[in-house]
Chains A and B, each alone.
Chain A
Amino acid sequence: MKPQTLLHLFITFFMVGLFTFGGGKASLPLVMDGAVHNHGWLTYEVVLDIWGVANSLPGAVVVNTAGFIGYLQAGVLGLIAASLGTIMPSLILVSVAAYFIQKVNKSRVIKGAFYGLAPATTGIITAAAVSMFMDGLMPLELNNSLPFSILFVLSLYAMLFVKRRGKAINPLLVVLVMAVLGIALGYAGIIER
């Protein structure tokens, strides 16, 4: 099974890299499409967990997500295949484009494409948020949804409005605080598994 899995990981994350526009923030729907819907490697929830971890580690969010999923599928080789797949489109396109950098930056076709890709990227991430709401913000047991909603609102507030030295706070900090709060609520018996 191994060589084939490695190839699938490479191709899947090649596609994720190729279709991620405007940076890693918007990559989640593409990862979901490849890893959950297309291959059924992991559940939606586990990919969310991985994405959260990937956001809190240094480096590019897409590459970290790919490496994590690759590792869970096929060990260290999977990690390497998936992350190389993710950066391959960048390497090819950027190293070619860098030779014509002024032409590319002035290109009306590329500007036009981004004029459409910017709202479409916003749309796909909005759809991810809407679907999440329609699914009841995730926790399946009803008695968990209130603590979950509170942690969600706290996190969103922290990300949008809490500033340190004029800059938004580090996502790592939010993730860590929420992990600690989750553990505290869990051992206090407020959330159930």
Chain B
Amino acid sequence: MKTFKNLAKLYVTFLKIGGFTVGGGYAMIPVIRREAVETHGWVNADEMTNIITLSQSMPGAIGINAAAAVGTKVAGIPGAVVCALGMITLPLVMVFAVALAFEQFSDLDAVRFAFFGIRAAVAAMIFYAMVKLFKPGVKDWFQGALFAGSVLLMVFDVLRVQFVLLIAAAIAIAFSLIRRKS
């Protein structure tokens, strides 16, 4: 019974975090930290710092990763599942509503005009992401070379995106291990 209550509390907490934080993972991290450390005392500040580092070094959405890590610390794997599901419930209800409307009304003039504007905003988001990722992602000649290589492989459609990422990771692992030894 107690564990059920714990899980319910985890779910409700992450339901609220997921449902009311716009702006992706980086906007969610401070909210998750506040709720998990200060409001509920589920993890201490040091553990939270470790969790944030971990969620950034695992694939997937950073907010979901952080939620799953907090859930694991509190209640093991069921905790992770409950927290991740909490994070996605309300946003998906909204996605459902918008997708339903999109399906019904996408032929209307007003909707088409609106998406003309939205596409311009999306194009800008892609450039924005590029600018934001460049600074922390390309810091030295080696990373510059991997950056240039992956741009070329993708623009000329040489390899699928997953292979580009895997190759870059493999080269970098080899490079950093060799550099350590010598």
Residue in chain A with minimal CB distance to B166: A19
Q: Which interface class (under 10, 10 to 19, 20 to 34, 35 or more) fits B?
A: 35 or more
Chain B residues with CB below 8 A from A15, complex form:
162
Q: Which interface class (under 10, 10 to 19, 20 to 34, 35 or more) fits A?
A: 35 or more
Residue in chain A with minimal CB distance to B176: A112
**Contact (Cβ within 8 A) A59 B176:** no
- Cα A73 to Cα B170 in complex, Å, equals 35
**Contact (Cβ within 8 A) B24 A186:** no
What is the CB-to-nearest-CB distance from A48 to chain B, in angstroms, rounded to a whole number? 5
**Contact (Cβ within 8 A) A114 B109:** no
SS of A interface (majority): helix
Partner of A159, one of B25, B128, B149: B128
Partner of B162, one of A19, A64, A155, A156: A19
**Contact (Cβ within 8 A) B61 A61:** yes
What is the CB-to-nearest-CB distance from B145 to chain A, in angstroms, rounded to a whole number? 8
Chain B residues with CB below 8 A from A59, complex form:
18-19, 21, 63, 87-88, 90-92, 94
- Cα A94 to Cα B61 in complex, Å, equals 11
- A residues apposed to B, CB below 8 Å: 15, 17-26, 28-30, 33, 45, 48-49, 51-64, 67-68, 71-72, 76, 79, 83, 86-87, 89-91, 93-95, 97-99, 101-102, 104-105, 108-132, 134, 137-139, 144, 147-148, 151-156, 158-160, 170-172, 174-175, 177-183, 185-187, 191, 193
